Structure 1
Amino acid sequence: MGGIMILGVISDSHDNIKNLEKVVNQLIKFNIDALIHLGDIISPFTLKFLGEKLKNKKIYAIYGNNDGDKLYLKRTADIYKIQIEEQPIILNLDGHSLFMFHGFGDLDKTLAIANSLAKSKVYSSIIFGHIHKPYLNYVNGVLILSPGEVAGIFNNPSFAIINVPSFSAKILQVE
């Protein structure tokens, strides 16, 4: 690919299409190159929505702990050329490895895993969802990021933008 790549990062949409549409409209304004959904998509119609709205963008997705109908999520993903897999996914972009997972257990456990991975310096970025809370930190120069939640269940809806290869990132509120 080469050059600067802009990644949109979302998680925990929980079928809230109203908020998801707002996020996607904001991401389009950022001219993202790819979208990463870190899990808890829930229903196939949510993937269909993403596939139709972002049809010219690469979309990567991870199954979350609430994604029950994996058969139809996978079928829908295949129709829209969305790459969806069990966690973790290691995504390689221009020689940089992104470690992506949904999350495990509570906030402390998920952050402990992310921090341990960052300390290894094997990956350029560790990104995760599940905690429904925005989180941005750097450990040993490695980006650790949770975009928060799209659904707005526990916190204000949010998403993130990551610039590759600098791995500068920002978390934004849904407008």
Structure 2
Amino acid sequence: MKAGVISDTHDNMENIRKALKIFNENSVKAILHGGDFVSPFTWRVFKNFDGEFYGVFGNNDGDRVLLKKMYGDRIQPQIRMIEIEGRKIALMHEPQMIDALAQSGNFDIVIYGHTHEVDIHKINNTLIINPGEACGWLYGKATVVLLNLDDLKPELIAL
């Protein structure tokens, strides 16, 4: 099964559409969003995804009440613990405690955002993923990650 990993969309509706197109073309069954949606109207695009959607609030998510109303339980406070296809995932925005979470041995994958920089590496048997910024506002390079949950192979995709 494939998952789409995305973070820091920051209201870039065009890039959210591009990401969803890539996810749909690659038969992604779950989206994992590492926070900083920013505005509730991002749901207008994300609602068109047919699979599962898991997200966490980021530091720039302004109207959390309306975000929660639009996204429902799909968006939650961090650190969010999820299990998909037997894979234990920690989903968060800020990168605090990444090493401790990985070294605990309790997670197969730790996903975070916030820095807007791609970071894909392993600590022991835990895969760490920051897909970079989907918005492209800060560094000018918009990216997402396709993650095969069967073999834990990530693929960085430019939008």
Q: Tell me the TM-score normalized by structure 2.
A: 0.94
Structure 2 residue 3 is the aligned partner of structure 1 residue 12: no
CA distance in 2, matches of 1:114, 1:7: 20
Alignment of 1:100-119 (within 5 A): 100-103=91-94, 110=95, 113-119=97-103
- Please, which of 45, 55, 61 is the counterpart of residue 67 of structure 1? 61
Once the two structures are superposed, the pairs formed by residues 94-133 of structure 1 within 5 Å of their partners are: 94-103=85-94, 110=95, 113-133=97-117
Per the TM alignment, residue 33 of structure 1 is displaced from its structure 2 partner at its CA by: 0.4
Q: Which amino acid aligns with 1:84?
A: I
- Displacement of 1:48 in angstroms is 2.4
**Which of 141, 146, 166 is the aligned partner of 2:130?**
146
CA distances 1:67-97 after superposition (whole Å, capped 9, x unpaired) = 121111111113xxx6110001100123321
Instruction: Please say if residues 55 and 91 of structure 2, whose CA atoms lie closer than 8 Å, have aligned partners that are also in contact.
Output: no
1:92 aligns with 2:76: no
What is the match of residue 168 of structure 1?
A: 153
Unaligned runs of 5+ in 1: 104-109
Structure 1 residue 37 corresponds to structure 2 residue 33 = yes
Preserved CA contact (<8 Å) 1:48 1:77: no
The number of equivalent residue pairs is 158
> Equivalents in 1 of 2:98, 2:130: separation in Å?
10
The one-letter amino acid of 2:71's match is A
CA RMSD between the two structures: 1.3
Q: Is the 8 A contact 2:7 2:133 kept in 1?
A: yes
Cα distance between partner residues in 2 of 1:47 and 1:37: 12
Counterpart AA for 1:148 = G
Q: Conserved in 2, the CA contact under 8 Å of 1:8 and 1:161?
A: yes
Gaps of at least 5 residues in structure 2 are none
**8 Å CA contact 2:110, 2:126 repeated in 1:** yes
Of residues 162-171 and 144-153 in structure 1, the stretch that sits farther from structure 2 once superposed is 162-171
Identity percentage of aligned residues: 30
Alpha-carbon deviation of 1:166? 2.1
**SS of 1:33 mapped into structure 2:** strand
Structure 1 residues 22, 94: CA separation in 2 closer, same or farther (over 3 Å shift)? closer
